[in-house]
Structure 1
Amino acid sequence: MTIDANEIVMQIDGDAIVTQLPPGYRFVPTDEELILFYLQNKVCFRPLPCEAVKDINANELYSNPPNTIVNFTLADNKKEWYFFIHQNKYQKEAEKNQTVRERNDARIGSFGFWTALENYEERVRKVGNGIGVWRSAGKKDPIYDNNGKVFGFKIQFIYFSATTNGYKKTHWRMEEYHLSTTCSNGDQEKEDLVLGRITRGRYYT
């Protein structure tokens, strides 16, 4: 491994990895680029083009409101942040809750109710102890490659903060990117992983 004098480009096993963007450059990838060059490479243990996407555990992400997850100041012009969201612990907790629901369903015979509840929980992700929720319409938007084949999809969320009168819609948004394909050429797959893009609007709380 070698690093150049400016510590901007790192060489790992012959692959050039950009560790920081030079002044004047902005990280503005398309949906296709996020899936193809970042999420897919991360999942399959391949080198990333640069270190612009940070790692975060889903438990941490869903324990705090977005304005404490990202780093910015009011004078900062930055409006987008990117994360590799490791879902293993979060998913295990969701699977445990699913098992509890199935047991309750078998005991009280209320399949229709629990099915509706599961669909609801797919669209609503509680933050902390109810300080807020990420809400989605539940729609999965497909992402196509140049040949018109779907190789990923994204789900859009809006953050609502808790108030004394319920939940208030905020200007925080999150797009969650998922792979719909598996690794090729025998690459080993990582744990369940998605890529999240969090954006802020005019208001920050």
Structure 2
Amino acid sequence: MEMEKRIVVNGGMRLPIGYRFHPTEQELILHYLLPKAFASPLPSSIIPVFDLFFSHPLTFPGDSKEKHRYFFCKKKEVSSNEQRIKTVSGDGYWKHIGKERPIIACGKAVGIRRTLAFYETNKSSSNCNRTRWSMTEYSLAGFASAKVFGEWAVYNVYERKGSKARKQRKSRDMDDEDLSCSIHFIVGSSDHETGPPPPSPPTSADE
């Protein structure tokens, strides 16, 4: 029981300190979503199954400290006009924004990527306000027989940051790049190199 508490946080899997689940889009499609659709073994059980269209994003399982959380969920039907998917709890809806983009692997389209934004219901009026919550939907393409197992998709849920936060993050990234360059220079030198090469002896022309 104690071990289970250490690896599960708020109903989601917690990785050991220093580890991050950061797959490429191709890896997400081919190594996780495709096996899920065909009921085949997965590389890891790190992506839980959860109905994202049931409640507000604040109630989603997993470690809230993680910038990106991944979930398996069955795709929902949307109206052709508004492209909205209302939550069961009635506290808002997800809306498709932007265009569909193909995921290419080995020269073929293996998946489709779509972005959704969450709009929160305003209790004081009939309007809905767009929140910072967004998610990227990855679905299969080119695997017609996968429909036998249902329209599974994998979702990357995240909270967008403001412009000030982006500037601060960019500044930190630049500091990290300077640090990595310094470390690379030190590690790359051999034991026999204690500094820059000595200057060349003066030639007769210089004298």
Which residue type is aligned with residue 31 of structure 2? Answer: F
1:32 counterpart residue number: 26
2:72 counterpart residue number: 84
Residue of 130, 137, 148 corresponding to 1:176: 137
Instruction: Give the TM-score taking structure 1 as reference length.
Output: 0.63
1:12 counterpart residue number: none
Instruction: Give the deviation of 1:174 after TM superposition.
Output: 0.8
Residue of 106, 129, 149 corresponding to 1:146: 106
Instruction: Give the deviation of 1:53 after TM superposition.
Output: 0.6
Q: Is there any run of 5+ residues in structure 1 with no aligned partner, and where?
A: 1-7, 9-18, 95-117
Secondary structure at the residue paired with 2:116? Answer: strand
Alignment of 1:62-141 (within 5 A): 62-73=53-64, 76=65, 78-87=66-75, 118-121=79-82, 123-128=83-88, 130-137=90-97, 139-141=99-101
2:189 counterpart residue number: none
CA distance in 2, matches of 1:152, 1:188: 14
Alignment of 1:28-67 (within 5 A): 28-57=22-51, 61-67=52-58
Report the identity percentage: 30
1:199 counterpart residue number: 158
CA distance in 1, matches of 2:136, 2:98: 12
Residue-by-residue CA offset, 1:59-105 (whole Å, 9 max, x unaligned)? xx2221111123345xx3x1111111034xx55xx7xxxxxxxxxxx
Secondary structure at the residue paired with 1:156? Answer: strand
Instruction: Give the deviation of 1:143 after TM superposition.
Output: 0.5
CA distance in 1, matches of 2:147, 2:49: 19
Aligned-CA RMSD value: 2.8
The question of whether the paired residues in 1 share the 8 Å contact of 2:14 and 2:63 is answered with no
Secondary structure at the residue paired with 1:140? Answer: strand
Which residue type is aligned with residue 173 of structure 1? Answer: S
The question of whether the paired residues in 1 share the 8 Å contact of 2:119 and 2:128 is answered with yes
Residue-by-residue CA offset, 1:10-60 (whole Å, 9 max, x unaligned)? xxxxxxxxx874431100011111101000011112221111110124xxx
Which residue type is aligned with residue 26 of structure 1? Answer: R
**Cα 1:159/1:35, change in 2 over 3 Å:** same
Q: How many residues align?
A: 149
Higher relative contact order (CA 8 A, sep 6+): 1
CA distance in 2, matches of 1:126, 1:21: 32
Q: Is there any run of 5+ residues in structure 2 with no aligned partner, and where?
A: 1-6, 8-12, 163-207
The question of whether the paired residues in 2 share the 8 Å contact of 1:142 and 1:150 is answered with yes
Which residue type is aligned with residue 68 of structure 2? Answer: E
Secondary structure at the residue paired with 1:54? Answer: coil
CA distance in 1, matches of 2:147, 2:85: 30
